[in-house]
């Protein structure tokens, strides 16, 4: 099969491409890229007025399968990803059973055969996500994982975390960490600040995040190991990561669209759909995250896509589940709040949402180089649209962005040369 994508503005930071090019896809791979029109007798997509970029990669997704398929499964998760412009997603291990063994990895790989995007897998740092006993990382890597994390849980024992980083370094795997000192969490509600006080809640202080961020940076520094900080939400954590990078620590980090788009006051109007972990913090924290994106402290944008049923969310703030769906709104939020606001340009956005995640994970994605698999996202940067959760491909609809107008949307998502999503255009 041959496919020609013509008249688009191609942006590929891996090759310093930013201009008008035609891209020819043949047998699922990039065959040719030229500034002059490629005349071919084949199926074509006219991308005039659009950006053509390497397929977006989300390195932090909860697919809920196995164990919680009523919230999401691997097929519906991949459909939501494709609708959001993602060609590759990485699923987290807090499933039932936990992804701490080869059999569960094989199950996911088998289910992923029906997915319309690439699905990668993170194994757990500790068995059962208990924070106590390390998994066999070599065994898990041989089975097919791309990294380890106890996401949703913090490895509270510093010795266990030290040994995990050491073992992961020996296996040359990325260690992604959820940072929150549970001993400083007063209740499982929202950020500790004026909004929590207004609601009579004790909350979750930002220092609970900062302490573990600094601990894991220091552990990685002592071992000369890599550590990746997930969903950074605190201004102090951003500063700790910035300083660590300046002194040469191999630390990277990700932020979510909700943490650079919202702050804790949104809980007052959005209720439990604005409850997540880590929580939305102050507006000052949000602005610090944006600054970290602009100055290169932040390496990646990841959604932390966390599907939940209405029953999970329709509870008191203390008891409602943490998290929101994010695959179908991430690109629009990033374009609206970062690119169109003048904070960053498209080249930087592609680095954050494609090239850098590929590098961190060690996968051969995030590029449009000739010969590589044709994973491509076509984006209309100026398309205005209203978020309507009823149209989501995801099984779950827990979002604070329902009804919000965004500017910029996926036109088409191409995986291995096959168009897996196309909007009405």
- Structure confidence at residue 329 (pLDDT): 98
- Structure confidence at residue 38 (pLDDT): 67
- Structure confidence at residue 35 (pLDDT): 81
Topology of 2-51+372-422 in CATH? Urease, subunit C; domain 1 (2.30.40)
Rounded Cα–Cα distance for residues 56 and 50 (Å):
15
The residue annotated as part of the active site, out of 12, 22, 264, 304, is: 304
- Structure confidence at residue 274 (pLDDT): 98
Rounded Cα–Cα distance for residues 421 and 391 (Å):
14
**What's the pLDDT band for 40 if we cut at 50, 70, 90?**
low
What is the average per-residue pLDDT within 248-274? 98
- 304 carries an active-site annotation: yes
Q: What is the mean pLDDT of the chain?
A: 97
- Structure confidence at residue 37 (pLDDT): 72
Residues 6+ apart with CB under 8 A from 397: 310, 325, 389, 390
Rounded Cα–Cα distance for residues 318 and 275 (Å):
10
- On whether the CB atoms of residues 417 and 28 are closer than 8 A, the answer is yes
Q: What are phi and psi of 289, to 5 degrees?
A: -65, -45
What is the average per-residue pLDDT within 164-192? 96
- On whether the CB atoms of residues 403 and 373 are closer than 8 A, the answer is no
pLDDT at 424 over 90: no
CATH topology agreement for domains 2-51+372-422 and 55-361: no
Q: Write down the CATH number for the domain with range 55-361.
A: 3.20.20.140
pTM exceeds 0.95: yes
pLDDT at 253 over 90: yes
pLDDT, tens only, 216-248: 999 999 999 999 999 999 999 999 999 999 999
Question: Hey, where are the domains in the chain?
Answer: 2-51+372-422, 55-361
Other C-beta atoms closer than 10 Å to the C-beta of 240 total 25
């Amino acid at each position: 099969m041959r496919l020609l994508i013509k008249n688009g503005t191609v942006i590929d930071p891996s090759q310093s491409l930013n201009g008008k090019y035609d891209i020819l896809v043949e047998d699922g791979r990039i065959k040719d890229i030229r500034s002059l029109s490629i005349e071919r007798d084949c199926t074509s997509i006219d991308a005039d007025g659009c950006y053509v970029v390497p397929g977006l990669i989300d390195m932090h997704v909860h697919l809920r399968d196995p164990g919680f398929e009523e919230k999401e499964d691997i097929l519906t998760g991949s459909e939501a990803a494709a609708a959001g412009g993602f060609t590759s997603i990485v699923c987290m291990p807090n499933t039932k059973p936990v992804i701490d063994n080869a059999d569960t990895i094989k199950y996911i790989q088998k289910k992923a055969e029906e997915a319309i995007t690439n699905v990668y897998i993170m194994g757990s740092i500790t068995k059962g996500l208990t924070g106590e006993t390390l998994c066999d990382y070599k065994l898990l890597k041989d089975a097919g994982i791309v990294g380890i994390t106890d996401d949703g849980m913090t490895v509270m024992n510093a010795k266990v975390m030290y040994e995990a980083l050491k073992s992961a370094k020996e296996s040359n795997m990325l260690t992604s960490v959820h940072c929150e000192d549970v001993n400083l969490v007063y209740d499982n509600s929202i950020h500790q600040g004026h909004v929590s006080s207004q609601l009579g809640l004790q909350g979750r202080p930002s220092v609970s995040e900062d302490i573990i961020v600094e601990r894991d940076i220091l552990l990685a520094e002592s071992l000369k190991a890599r550590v990746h900080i997930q969903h950074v939400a605190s201004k102090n954590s951003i500063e700790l990561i910035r300083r660590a990078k300046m002194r040469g620590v191999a630390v990277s980090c990700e932020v979510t669209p909700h943490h650079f788009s919202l702050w804790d006051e949104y809980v007052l109007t959005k209720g439990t759909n604005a409850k997540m972990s880590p929580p939305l913090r102050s507006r000052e924290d949000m602005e610090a995250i944006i600054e970290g994106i602009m100055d290169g402290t932040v390496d990646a944008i990841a959604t932390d896509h966390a599907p939940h049923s209405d029953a999970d969310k329709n509870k008191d703030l203390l008891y409602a589940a943490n998290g929101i769906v994010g695959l179908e709104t991430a690109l629009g939020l990033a374009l609206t709040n970062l690119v169109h606001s003048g904070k960053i340009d498209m080249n930087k956005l592609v680095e954050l949402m494609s090239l850098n995640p590929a590098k961190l994970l060690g996968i051969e994605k995030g590029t449009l180089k000739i010969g590589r698999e044709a994973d491509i996202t076509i984006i209309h940067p100026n398309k205005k649209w209203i978020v309507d959760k009823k149209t989501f491909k995801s099984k779950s609809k827990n979002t604070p962005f329902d009804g919000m107008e965004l500017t910029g949307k996926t036109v088409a998502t191409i995986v291995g040369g096959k168009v897996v999503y196309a909007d009405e255009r």
